[in-house]
Chain A
Amino acid sequence: MHIMSIPSALIWAVWLLPLGAFALISPLIRPFPGKAEPASFISIGAVGISFALSLWILASVLQAPDRQIILHGADWLSISGGPVFNFGLLIDPLSAVMLSVVTSVSLMVQVYSRAYMHSDPSYLRYFALISLFTAAMLGLIVSSNLLSTFAFWELVGLSSYLLIGFWFHRPSAVAAAKKAFLVTRIGDVGFLAALLVLYTKTGTLDITALNSPGVLSAISGGVLTWAALGLFLGAMGKSGQFPLHVWLPDAMEGPTPVSALIHAATMVAAGVFLVARMYPLFQAAPHALTVVAIVGAFSAVFAATMGLVMKDIKRVLAYSTISQLGLMMLGIATGGVWVGIFYLFNHAFFKSLLFLGAGSVNHATGTFDLREMGGLRKKIPWTFAFFVLAAVSLSGIWPLAGFFSKEGVLAAALDKQPVLFGFALLTTFLTAFYIFRVVFLVFFGDYRGSHGPHESSRIMLVPMGLLAVPAVASGWLNANGGFEHFLGDGATHGFWSGFIGALAHPLALFSLLAALLGVFSAYTLYIKRWISPDKVKWFLRSPYAIFTRKYGMDELYENIIARNALYRGVFQAADWTDRVVIGGASAGIASLTTGAGRVLRRFQTGQIQLYAVAAVLGMTAIVLIALVRG
């Protein structure tokens, strides 16, 4: 079957359409803040068309020679004899897959939001921001130049900031938004420094050029490693990898559909995408790739342990996201682009479904607290069905999607980093345990809340049902090796031999065993209560305390580093010098020189001699340094 190749104008339209929707809706925010339903259709229509175009792009890439479509855009910044930054689009299997993930999840989330945000007084602002985010995220995926990638990278960060703080009358939401923005910007220091290093060494930031062997071999190994680590620091910030993970759980203060779209499926995956995008560069810097694998594997276990004990359903899912992103990093570092991106692809669907399910549960019960739920499977059967499917998929149980991608990561890790394979296997067990803990606490047992639970409206259930399809089946795309063939260069084989044959692999038995053990442990504890969870809690009280306190990381950052070291230390010291040393000394001088003192006291300009003295001393120091050096 031959499909007409997509015209280039329509490729541009993929990200410009949501941007247009943002431009159309945002002027309407003030005149019609709340009820202006038609505006949401602008936003949904734009992303709907983008989704259709993404599928067309995917089909076109399959047929394109070299599987690449490169569009040269305008010269964004060009200086004669200096840098030229072309703002163009790079469409290859990687960006085509990412486009379809982002547009499809965004479409489903926006439809769902029509009902979820129905009574919100800032309905329009919500859709404007979601459109802005979608446009920036799509721009990030398709840009052919790392400089414009960085610009979009910051724009998704900004829209994430605005959406986390969407309910800005809550101080906790404002604090979370600020934390997210600042912590990810720490990572961005690495990204920007890497850009400057790469540009200085190669004279280009064009992604295709940077990834070419000729350019890479021109850079010395040490510099390349630092550049790759800088890029990875940026990726760690965005993808919430240890130790920059602290913002992601707090980001759950945003509306739940936003968590589904931005903080589960798309933006947080941008870090994984960046590593995949620059994979040839990382390959040329094997030490950096090892760091990626270690950080990923560690984050996977580290976050999963905290997911075990959280009492808020969204926080469990947030730690799960960090953990899963860690597995993606491990997958890319050990198995190559397709392993990590295949995981990203499947994860986007089942994790956003889990979040939308959590939103639906919240709609029914009015809370996110697991202690006030229970027995909901009868009350909200559709939500229950979708949530369980996604949970099984997340646990990596055959034949659902999660199984196939997890196999890829486990096999690659076993092959390259056997120790880290142990981490991944442990994560599999923990994942199944914490997600089924949630399932059992929410949907089984007796209802412990006071709200009268009711099933959500069809507008919310239909997108969930549509997401359930890929949550179950997206993994089958690689049963015949098709996905691997598309992104990497593996050979394809028969569908059924892959689908069933995957089970015959001894590794599959291990991972299934780990997952089922996790489910069974949760079953023992929360359904049968053969062992009381409280007893386990008491028995394991010290790890339990560590997990619930999040390893003290928040404490470390907020109290020790931010409040004590920086605020009380550096800023207060600077302030103290300003007031006490300079103020005190100048008062002394003023009282010595009575004549001047009287004038100066009237104007309260006691500091002025000190300003002059400081400047003269500084000048003397500079002159001395200069002369000693020269």
Chain B
Amino acid sequence: MNLDLLRPEICMALTALAAVGADLLFKRKAIVTAVCLAGIAAATGLTFSIMGNAPQIIANRLFSLDDYAIFFKFLFLGLAFIVIVASVDYVNRMKDFHGEFHALLITATLGAMLTASATDIISILLSVELTAISFYALVGFLKNGKTAESSIKYVLLGAINSAVLLYGFSMLFGFTGSTVLSGMERATAAIPSGGAAGGAGLLFGLMLVIAGFGFKIAAVPFHMWAPDVYEGAPTPVTLYLSTASKIAGFAVLTRILVTPFMQPVALARNWGIILAGIAALTMTTGNLLAIPQVNIKRLLSYSSIAQSGYMLVAVAALGMSSSNFLQARSSLLYFILAFAFAELAVFTAIVVMSRNKPADLISDYAGLARRSPLLGVAMTLGLLSLMGLPPLAGFMGKFYVFTQAAQHGLLWLVIIAVVNSVVSAYYYLRIIKTIWTDEPASEEPVSSSLGPRFALAFACLGIAVLGVAPAIITRFSEFGSHMFMP
């Protein structure tokens, strides 16, 4: 039991406790924020300290520490840091629950970090649930009718989702005789490549697992909760939900599929093609339903569904890639980074706008560029990046993913994706037009404290660097594409 390799996670668990403690002890709520930020910084430092070693097994194969896990740990820690920093003004809306809010944000991050390195279906399920349960509480935090409704919906559908996932896992265990991913890989390797033995059962199990994670990543037809929950949840939670929760879903889904189920080739192609179909459905539905929306959080939830579709293109390419899959995995990681920066830019602006009272309608953003140039520019950059306009991050992400898919014989899917990104330009452009050209209801400047401004500047920088100088970042995504399963 080499638990010391879980140092960052242990640090995060202690941070969560410290946040609750600080909330009890101190009147000044800023101390809680400071404790959380310090804890995250310490965990980041600890992640650095365990990085660069050979991949290792932790806790009897429940977890593994590889570059892939480290990539996501950094990503989740960074996201948590930025989300906390971005919502320093907003949290005043939930005065009485300051400590709980932060503690739950930290446990959600902890769950996501564990998810990234979990290599056993038991540990996967536990980590996923840790994140999910934290979010159930976070979504309902404003304690008004709307957030309560969202929270109830999320809990009920989450329960169904867990059941489906568990059912899928039990099927996989039944057909491979192992709960460890590496054990499953040995079992699939033993299947003769031509025969169908175990094929149907495994495929059935895999489909249930895909459906289960389909909820997490809001893939069609498992997406319906997303608009309601995104709309109802407090905006910082929406931001964290649309990034960390979704990314954790992709991280673990990809780890389960690749490499344990990359063989026999027929099986891999089967789930690859099914995922390609789901990807096409997801992006098309997301983009079409985003167009008539007037509520900006609902619109962005559909946009986020569409973005999941693009990410699924990369996962589908993995399935079709047979053996040469490092590039496809690196493209997924790159896209995820680009997506995260764009969501940060857009949602942080919404967090700032709704710090006192809800600003949920697109028309609330009329003339925003005049009221606050920083918010206007950041939101515009974020939306243009989501639209995929070169030379911003989103374009490079899409281009990278699409070339991988085209190379692995999914050209039809790529064409659908390219057409989709043109359709999406319509509704992104509508928001941008509102921000820059419409008359604001009041000329009053939007004030924000240093934290959100830092978050916005950071997101803009990320969008620009990933687009203009992607070579720097591809090192990181390539590093992260190396996975090790004991």
Contact = CB atoms under 8 A, between A and B. Distances in A.
Contacts of A83: 403
B289 interface: yes
A185 B145 CA distance: 42
Contact of B429 (A150, A178, A571, A578): A178
A612 interface: yes
B471 interface: yes
A199 B403 contact: yes
A622 B474 contact: no
Interface string B277-305: 11000000100110110000000000000
Contacts of A574: 285, 288-289, 292
B361 interface: no
Contacts of B433: 174, 178
Given A151-B395, A189-B419, A158 B389 contact: yes
A623 to B, nearest CB: 5
A220 interface: no
Given A178-B429, A182-B426, A199-B406, A619 B208 contact: yes
A169 B419 CA distance: 31
B381 to A, nearest CB: 12
Interface in A607-630: 607-608, 610-612, 614-619, 622-623, 625-627, 629-630
B292 A622 contact: no
B395 A629 contact: no
Interface in A188-217: 188-189, 192-193, 196-197, 199-200
Given A155-B390, A617-B221, A603 B149 contact: yes
Interface in A57-73: none
A277 B273 CA distance: 37
A165 B208 contact: no
Interface string A169-194: 10000100010011001101100110
Given A186-B422, A192-B418, A605-B153, A618 B471 contact: no
B390 A150 contact: yes
A316 to B, nearest CB: 29
A168 B471 contact: no
A189 B274 contact: no
B57 interface: no
Given A77-B470, A617-B221, A627 B203 contact: yes
A605 B471 contact: no
Contact of B403 (A78, A200, A605): A200
Interface residues of A, number: 61
Contact of A197 (B152, B292, B406): B406
A82 B481 CA distance: 13
Given A30-B373, A197-B406, A625-B274, A612 B207 contact: no
A611 B222 CA distance: 8
Interface string B397-413: 00110110011000100
Contacts of B210: 622
A76 B402 contact: no
B486 interface: no
- Measured as residues with beta carbon below 8 angstroms from the partner, the interface class of chain B is 35 or more
A119 interface: no
Interface string B433-463: 1001100000000000000000000000000
Nearest to B437: A168
Contact of B222 (A185, A196, A615, A627): A615
Contact of B402 (A75, A151, A196, A629): A196
Given A181-B425, A189-B419, A611-B224, A629 B389 contact: no
Contacts, number: 164
Contacts of B419: 189
A20 to B, nearest CB: 15
A200 B406 contact: yes
A502 B257 CA distance: 71
Contacts of A612: 156-157, 160
A618 B153 contact: no
Interface string A66-100: 00000000111111111100000000000000000
A594 interface: no
Interface in B217-246: 220-222, 224-225, 228
Interface string B121-158: 00000000000000000000000010011001100110
A446 interface: no
A147 B204 CA distance: 41
Contact of A189 (B221, B273, B373, B418): B418
A88 to B, nearest CB: 14
B327 interface: yes
Contact of A78 (B152, B228, B418, B471): B471
A559 interface: no
B411 A165 contact: no
A591 interface: no
Interface stretch (B28-36, B85-93, B98-106, B263-271): B263-271
A575 interface: yes
B330 A79 contact: yes
B478 interface: yes
Interface of A: 30, 74-83, 147, 150-151, 154-155, 158, 165, 168-169, 174, 178, 181-182, 185-186, 188-189, 192-193, 196-197, 199-200, 570-572, 574-575, 578, 603-605, 607-608, 610-612, 614-619, 622-623, 625-627, 629-630
Given A611-B224, A618-B221, 16 more contacts: A83-B403, A185-B425, A189-B418, A193-B414, A196-B414, A196-B418, A572-B292, A574-B285, A578-B289, A605-B152, A608-B157, A619-B214, A622-B211, A626-B204, A629-B273, A630-B200
* A-B interface, 8 closest residue pairs, ranked by CB to CB distance from nearest: A618-B221, A151-B390, A168-B437, A611-B224, A619-B211, A200-B406, A151-B391, A623-B207
28 contacts: A74-B469, A77-B474, A78-B474, A79-B330, A79-B478, A81-B327, A150-B390, A178-B433, A181-B425, A182-B429, A186-B422, A189-B418, A575-B289, A603-B148, A603-B152, A608-B156, A611-B224, A615-B221, A618-B220, A618-B222, A622-B207, A622-B274, A623-B207, A625-B274, A626-B206, A627-B200, A630-B196, A630-B203
Interface of B: 145, 148-149, 152-153, 156-157, 160, 164, 196, 199-200, 203-204, 206-208, 210-211, 214-215, 220-222, 224-225, 228, 266-267, 270-271, 273-274, 277-278, 285, 288-289, 291-292, 326-327, 330, 373, 389-391, 395-396, 399-400, 402-403, 406-407, 411, 414-415, 418-419, 422, 425-426, 429, 433, 436-437, 469-471, 474, 478
